[in-house]
Amino acid sequence: MSASNKPVNQRAWLLILPVILCVAFSAVLPLMTVVNYSVQDIIDPERRVFVGTEWFAAVLRDEELHAALWRQITFSLAVLLVEIPLGIALALSMPDQGWKASAVLVVVALSLLIPWNVVGTIWQIYGRADIGLLGATLNGLGIDYSYTGNALDAWLTVLVMDVWHWTPLVTLLCYAGLRSIPDAYYQAARIDGASKWAVFRFIQLPKMRGVLMIAVLLRFMDSFMIYTEPFVLTGGGPGNATTFLSQYLTQKAVGQFDLGPAAAFSLIYFLIILLLCFVLYNWMQRVGTGNAEVGHE
């Protein structure tokens, strides 16, 4: 019997069966439950009325949802515009090897070990005007800073808190990408007399394209679903200044117990994230392809 006609052993698929079952239990079943709730008016646990797409239409007409969506998109874009360049800059400035590299990696990764609710509590104390280092310092300089009373201060505080917490993730990904570049590229650049900017543009940045794509998608998805930190820090206020989509969804589902509209909104929320991630991914692919063609020229 030839090698091409040899029967293939398919029993290896049994090894991933536990993973499939876990995904089905933790993702598919809850998703189907949400779909079921989104087309029903749940009067009480025993009485439900089928309403079709009524909740989807109601959610799409909700002006508070439109405002929360705009705040969310603005926040996520600001996160990417700050954390990606800052993470790249920090990765480039870190030592290549030796004990200093190990020490810097440990220090950079410390903020990633802090739970989200603790991060919110830390910055809640940090921004207080009476005992907080940030609040007391700004007020001492004559800046009227109050993250509990001023909408812009609250929004900027949440942004800075997210930058402090998650920029190290971007930095570590970029650092790993930089360390994977073969030294032959740098030797060729030195022979050609390339400047540091040319090395970054034509060697380091293209070679980091894969890790940058992961960093952008991870930070976008995570920032688009942010909940715990702003909830602990500001509670969504002042007013609705820091009420993002996840907190708006929680208010619908838990606070008002509108399970039907909340389920419809969660499905729309899920589709928005998928759509924006798809757009980001394809845009980065095209940009990376264009940079590669320029480099070859």
Residues belonging to the chain: 297
Residue 41 covered by a domain: no
The two tokens of residue 22 are 């876990």
Q: Which of 165, 148, 13 is closest to 79 using CA atoms?
A: 165
Here the CATH number for the domain that contains residue 73 is 1.10.3720.10
**CA separation, residue 165 to residues 103, 109, 190, 215, 250 (Å):** 18, 9, 37, 14, 23
Range of the domain at 241: 62-296
Residue with the bigger pLDDT between 163 and 282: it is 163
Give me the pLDDT at residue 175, please: 92
Binned at pLDDT 50, 70 and 90, residue 297 comes out as: low
Quick check: 158 and 234 in contact, CB under 8 A?
yes
The two tokens of residue 108 are 């950079």
- Considering Cα of 284, then 268, then 235, then 147, what sign does the dihedral take? positive
Residue with the bigger pLDDT between 173 and 25: it is 173
Give me the pLDDT at residue 161, please: 94
- pLDDT tens per residue across span 187-216: 988 888 888 899 888 888 888 888 888 898
**CA separation, residue 59 to residues 76, 246, 263 (Å):** 22, 14, 10
Give me the pLDDT at residue 54, please: 86
Residue 26 covered by a domain: no
Residue 15 covered by a domain: no
- pLDDT tens per residue across span 154-192: 999 999 999 999 999 999 999 989 988 888 998 988 888
Residue 12 covered by a domain: no
Residue 46 covered by a domain: no
Give me the pLDDT at residue 170, please: 93
Phi-psi region of 20 (alpha: psi -120 to 50; beta: other; left: phi over 0): alpha
Question: Is residue 250 scored above 90 in pLDDT?
Answer: no
Residue 49 covered by a domain: no
Give me the pLDDT at residue 160, please: 94
Residue 17 covered by a domain: no
Residue 71 covered by a domain: yes
The number of folded domains in the chain is: 1
